[in-house]
Amino acid sequence: MSGNTFGKLFTLTTFGESHGPALGAIVDGCPPGVPLSEQDLQHDLDRRRPGTSRHTTQRREPDQVRILSGVFEGVTTGTSIGLLIENTDQRSKDYSKIKDQFRPAHADYTYHHKYGVRDYRGGGRSSARETAMRVAAGAIAKKYLASLGIQVRGYMSQLGPLQIEFKQWECVGDNPFFCPDPERVAELEAYMDQLRRDQDSVGAKITVVADGVPPGLGEPVFDRLDAELAHGLMSINAVKGVEIGDGFASVSQRGSQHRDEMTPDGFLSNHAGGILGGISSGQSIIAHLALKPTSSITTPGRSIDIHGEAVEVVTKGRHDPCVGIRATPIAEAMMALTLIDHLLRHRAQNADVEVSTPRLR
Considering only residues 39-98, where is the footprint of a copy of itself by CB under 8 A?
A: 66, 68-70, 72, 75, 77-82, 84
Among 161, 165, 183, 197, binds a copy of itself (CB under 8 A): 161
By the rule CB under 8 A, 290 interacts with a copy of itself: yes
Instruction: Name which position in 149, 168, 257, 314 contacts a copy of itself (CB under 8 A).
Output: 257
For the purposes of burial, counting CB atoms within 10 Å of the CB of 348, is it exposed (0-12), middle (13-18) or buried (19 or more)?
A: exposed
Residues between 118 and 147 that touch a copy of itself (CB under 8 A): 118-119, 124-126, 130
DSSP string, 326-346: GHHHHHHHHHHHHHHHHHHHH
* Contact call for residue 212 and a copy of itself (CB under 8 A): no
Closest to 209 measured CA to CA, from 325, 42, 323, 336: 336
Dist. CA 89–CA 302, nearest whole Å: 30
- Candidate ranges 36-44, 53-61, 175-183, 274-282; the one touching a copy of itself (CB under 8 A): 274-282
Give the dihedral of Cα atoms 15, 33, 280, 335; nearest 10 deg. Answer: 30
Residue 115 CB, nearest approach to a copy of itself (Å): 4
Alpha carbon distances (Å) from 315 to 78, 128, 238, 251, 298: 44, 16, 17, 39, 5
Query: By CB under 8 A, is residue 270 in contact with a copy of itself?
Result: no
Q: Is 296 annotated as a binding residue?
A: yes
Question: Residues 99 to 118: which contact a copy of itself by CB under 8 A?
Answer: 102, 104-107, 109-118
Binding mask 313-352 toward a copy of itself (x if CB under 8 A, else -) reads: -----------x-------------------xxxxxxxxx
Is residue 165 within the footprint of a copy of itself (CB under 8 A)? no
CB atoms within 10 A of CB 248: 9
What whole-number distance in Å separates Cα of residue 55 and Cα of residue 81? 33
Q: Which residues are annotated as a binding site for FMN?
A: 125-127, 237-238, 277, 292-296, 318
